[in-house]
Amino acid sequence: MGLSLTLSAQRRDEIVTALRGHVGSLTTKVVEAMETRHHWVRRLGAEDRSWITIVARAGIDNFMAWFADAERAADPGTLFNAAPRALTRKISLHQTVDLVRTTVNVVAEQVGELVPPEDQPPLELAITHFSREVAFATAEVYARAAELRGGWDERMEALIVDAIVRAEADDMVVSRASALGWNTFGPVCVIAGPRPDDTDLDALRGAAGARDLAVLASEQGGRIIVILGGGQLSDLEASVQAALDLEQFFGPGTIVVGPLVKGLPQAAESAQSALSAARVAHAWPEAPRVVASFELLPERVLAGHPAARRKLVDDVYRPLAGAGGELLATTIGFLDNGCAVEPTARALFVHANTVRYRLRKVAELTTMNPLDPRQAYALHLAITLGRLVVTDSGEAQR
């Protein structure tokens, strides 16, 4: 039921008739007050300001129609039908409440000059009641818009991540990511980790955003795939640290960080590396909680991943072979002598410091440190694969 009013139906009709002649001036004063009291209104585009004017006018008309009929239930939510739902992206809920409050105050001030003193108390009571209903309607509109936008954004984000995983990141994918808030042109890496029982991607996004990182996240096949971007991802160490900062949002198991790439269009390379490593991470149960994908190259090669095989041959064996026989021979001798410097020096008839110097050069050249047991294992596998490739292709051996 509508608000019980003390005025008779005839008197209400007379008041509404009198007020209708001033709707235009009331609307103008309301809009002027909005622009004066809220500086952000002046920064809106002409089209958005025109929609605000239409909503203000609709609100005044809606109030008068309700006030004229005491038995009519207030339905101020219909006044938002005048504006497009896109307006909720431009104006926050807090800002909308400010506009509603301004509208109510201005209307209350003006009607005091338009009706006799004895009619002002019930009219002010009606305005207060109606403004309360408008506030509830406003909250409902924004809640519904947030729910629809949240569901749509989540589906869009999943499609973008899926396109990157499948190496289909074209200009359209980048454009859609920008629409979701991806606003960085800095380096990008992809993180793949186990999905927890209580997945909370919103919390993950919030934690990444608090670190000034652009983020896209989705669940895929029991894993969480996270695409991170930002200028602070300066090197692999920074990427691993970013993953460590977010590890609480993953389930138990190994979290794999793909290599840094130039930008989102190249993220497929990082995604494929991270995912191929994540699939074989169980073969290295001693791995750290967060590990770079290149550290799982041996497992990836043994699992039959061609990209991992090519990377070991091209990035490790070929640079060694191309640097001259000394580095390759020293590496082989070091591996064959149990990764011990002194026996290697005796076998090669050189000083132990010469062996150490050459091993440092190997680490600089290949990013694989022979003194690290895990990386020495990868070096050994790279040399074996390289020899196979040389034999199969008929390349000249050094």
Rounded to an integer, the average pLDDT of 302-309 is 91
pLDDT reported for residue 2 = 42
pLDDT in tens, 212-221: 888 888 888 7
Q: Using 50, 70 and 90 to split pLDDT, how confident is the model at 48? A: confident
| Domain range summary for the chain, segments of one domain joined by + | 9-148, 188-294, 306-393
Residue 17 DSSP SS3 = helix
Whether pLDDT at 392 is above 70: no
Would 188-294 and 306-393 be classified into the same CATH topology?
no
Whether pLDDT at 1 is above 50: no
pLDDT in tens, 345-366: 999 999 999 999 999 999 999 9
Closest to 264 (Cα-Cα) out of 292, 296, 233: 233
171/74 Cα distance (integer angstroms): 48
Closest to 226 (Cα-Cα) out of 170, 185, 274, 167: 274
Whether pLDDT at 156 is above 70: yes
pLDDT in tens, 100-119: 778 777 777 777 677 777 77
At 254, list the tokens: 């190994």
Whether the Cβ atoms of residue 261 and residue 189 lie closer than 8 Å to each other: yes
Burial class (CB in 10 A: 0-12, 13-18, 19+), 164: buried
| CATH class, range 188-294 | alpha beta
What pTM, to 2 d.p., does this model score?
0.60
**Would you identify the CATH topology of the domain 306-393?**
Arc Repressor Mutant, subunit A (1.10.10)
Whether the Cβ atoms of residue 104 and residue 131 lie closer than 8 Å to each other: yes
Q: Using 50, 70 and 90 to split pLDDT, how confident is the model at 313? A: very high
CA atoms within 13 A on the CB side of 308: 25
Whether the Cβ atoms of residue 121 and residue 187 lie closer than 8 Å to each other: no
pLDDT reported for residue 87 = 62
Whether the Cβ atoms of residue 220 and residue 161 lie closer than 8 Å to each other: yes
